[in-house]
Amino acid sequence: MESNNNTSKIALIVLAVLTAVFGVLYFRSNQLTKQQATSIEEKATELANTQIKLDSISTQLDGKIAEIKALGGQVADLEALKLQLEQDKSSLKKANHATVESYLAKIKEYDLILAQKDADIVELKKQNGVLTENNQVLSTQNQTLNTENTGLKTVNKNLSDTLSDVAAKNKELARKVSIGAALKAQNIRVLAVNAKGKETEKAKLGGKRIDKLKIVFNLAMNPITKLENKTIYVRILDGEGSTLSDEAAGSGKINQGGKDIPFTISQVVSYSNDNQEVAVLYTRGGVVYKPGKYSIEMYSEGFTIGNGTFVVK
């Protein structure tokens, strides 16, 4: 009889322990489910906010393209940027929490390009005789607010776009991205360097005192240009249209537009997308530069990336 009582007590103890274990496991499972739900909600919110920002930038790009076209400016780079943006928007649909960070970095670059284009628009307006007034700045700010509001209203529709829409544009994207990613040389200056290494920058350079020519310029920032080594070809033409060429000084020929043309000097530059300054030095020993107006043409990866002039007295 006593043995039966002990067995019952042991059974009750085992049952109590199992009940406690199952209770703990259920509690932990329930907590884990809540944490997962919170994490999913946070990721969804982060993705939605990123999509809204990309939609806002897309609308602003449309405005910039239309305005620059109306002012007679070139928009190939912006059109390529817009197509790249649309690809980013579609790719974002497959993104997870970890990859959203890379899109935030892209958004910063897009914002920087938009700011640069605002400066270009101001310059185009000056060239077209259009005065920039304070109310235009206020209008731009208001347009930005309206754009963000529009982005909030249309985010659900844009999120439902399929990857097939992007695939149909891939061929055109590849062409325009190639154009948009081309280097752009800005602020081109020409300095005369004498035999002692003294550099001179004047409206008119003294031909007899030129031992070397130093061409200085900046490579404009472009987020869709690859960060890699770029070969830049510089072509210097005298007043009669003849290319300065000396194989001993590094001259040669390149294919441009299906034709082989001579170039004066080339240089490999590691593109860093930070408005870097580049200096190309051309030495043509024992030659006096004839008086006249000289032209500079710059090429890279099959594109003309900049032009300049200088005068020799």
Report the domain count for the chain: 2
| 166 lies in the same domain as 253 | no
CA angle 116, 124, 142 (to 5 degrees): 60
**Domain end among 152, 180, 208:** 180
> In the prediction, which pLDDT does 299 show?
97
Q: What is the mean pLDDT of residues 260-270?
A: 96
Q: Which residues contact 273 (CB under 8 A, 6 or more apart)?
A: 221, 222, 223, 225, 227
Give residue 50's domain range.
2-180
Q: Are residues 19 and 160 in the same domain?
A: yes
154 and 230 both lie in a single domain: no
Digit-coded pLDDT (tens) for 154-197: 766 666 676 566 566 667 666 667 778 899 999 999 999 988 88
**Between 261 and 69, whose confidence is greater?**
261
Residues 236, 188: Cα–Cα separation, whole Å? 13
Other CB atoms within 10 Å distance of the CB of residue 149: 11
Claim to verify: residue 230 and residue 171 sit in the same structural domain: no
220: Cβ contacts below 8 Å, ≥ 6 apart: 183, 184, 185, 186, 275
Residues 166 and 190 in one domain: no
pLDDT at 132: 52
Q: Which DSSP helix (H) or strand (E) runs through 59?
A: helix 2-70
Predicted model pTM: 0.48
Band the pLDDT of 221: cuts 50, 70, 90: very high
Residues 128 and 273 in one domain: no
Rounded Cα gap, residues 266 and 298, in angstroms: 9
**Which residue, of 180, 215, 235, is where some domain finishes?**
180
Report, as an integer, the average pLDDT of 290-295. Answer: 93
221 and 119, same domain (yes or no): no
The CATH number assigned to the domain holding 297 equals 2.60.40.1930
